[in-house]
């Protein structure tokens, strides 16, 4: 991994058209400003895992019939919603 | 209102069960309105959270009390503000389920639950800082002594 030290107010450029600026540095947080072309998606890394989990969940069949059997077996009765 | 669902065709949902998600859900930022409805199988009620504008996303969701008792989310100030709530006790939480081929492997996303303010009808998927909360908690595997 390339490691570059930067101070608040300094920036660096990635490829053609992406500029990363260090806006401020706190004790445990750094504010980063990013300028990039519209088509470049920028997300916090931990969000990628959540996005993947959501996609997986909506892409799989909920199999309620089989789940109902399992819940009966385990004596679990989900709440009625509201 | 009547909505097109992923699994059940056209379904009538109560207006009170329709929630605004101003930022959508992660990976589905364009779906800003979601409806909650119940479908019962074999006397067991299941809750679905379904986009009103598209048939996907649709999630099978559970209230934590059913499968993750002791759920104690630490909701941060920004999330509370977005939900127009002052404390997390005003909120209702739903855990998104992922059902693999073998249903005993059911997993729940405890790390990033859906928070809903029933009063303002605003919903939001939040990311909890609780380190022991997993994106794929398996209630039944854990019970049998396997790693969750």
- Between strands A11-14 and A18-25, the pairing is antiparallel
pLDDT exceeds cutoff 70 at B92: yes
Q: Which domains does chain B have, with CATH numbers?
A: 2-147 (2.30.290.10)
Q: Which residues of A touch B (CB under 8 A)?
A: 46-47, 49-72, 74, 76-82
ipTM for this model: 0.92
Which pLDDT tens digit goes with each residue over B59-75? 999 999 989 989 999 99
**Chain B CB contacts of A58 below 8 Å:** 6, 28, 56-59
Give chain B's largest Cα–Cα span: 45
Mutate to test the interface with B, among A42, A48, A56, A57 (most CBs of B within 10 A): A57
Q: Quick check: A13 and B88 in contact, CB under 8 A?
A: no
Q: Is B56's Cβ below 8 Å from some Cβ in A? A: yes
Q: How far apart are CA B9 and CA B131, in angstroms?
A: 39
Q: Quick check: A76 and B67 in contact, CB under 8 A?
A: yes
Give pTM, 2 decimals: 0.84
Q: How far apart are CA B3 and CA B55, in angstroms?
A: 9
Helix runs in B27-87, H state only: 64-67, 77-82
pLDDT exceeds cutoff 80 at B146: no
B40/chain A closest Cα distance in angstroms = 9
């Amino acid at each position: 991994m390339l490691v570059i030290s930067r101070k608040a107010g300094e920036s660096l450029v990635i490829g053609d058209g992406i500029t990363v600026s260090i806006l401020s540095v706190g004790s445990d947080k750094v504010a980063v400003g990013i300028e990039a072309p519209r088509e470049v998606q920028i997300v916090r890394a931990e969000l990628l895992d959540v996005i993947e989990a959501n996609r997986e969940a909506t892409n799989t069949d909920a199999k309620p019939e089989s789940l109902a059997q399992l819940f009966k077996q385990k004596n679990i009765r989900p709440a009625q919603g509201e | 209102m009547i909505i097109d669902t992923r699994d059940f065709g056209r379904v009538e949902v109560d207006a009170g069960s329709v929630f605004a998600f101003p930022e959508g859900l992660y990976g589905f930022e364009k779906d800003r309105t979601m409806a909650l409805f119940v479908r019962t199988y074999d006397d067991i009620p299941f809750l679905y959270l379904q986009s009103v504008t598209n048939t996907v996303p649709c999630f099978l969701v559970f209230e934590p009390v059913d499968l993750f008792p002791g759920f104690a989310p630490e909701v941060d100030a920004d999330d509370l503000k977005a939900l127009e709530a002052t404390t997390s006790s005003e909120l209702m939480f739903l855990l998104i389920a992922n059902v693999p081929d073998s249903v005993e492997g059911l997993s729940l996303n405890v790390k990033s639950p859906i928070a809903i303010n029933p009063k303002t009808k605003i919903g939001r998927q939040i990311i909890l800082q609780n380190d022991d909360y997993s994106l794929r908690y398996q209630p039944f595997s854990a019970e049998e002594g396997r790693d969750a």
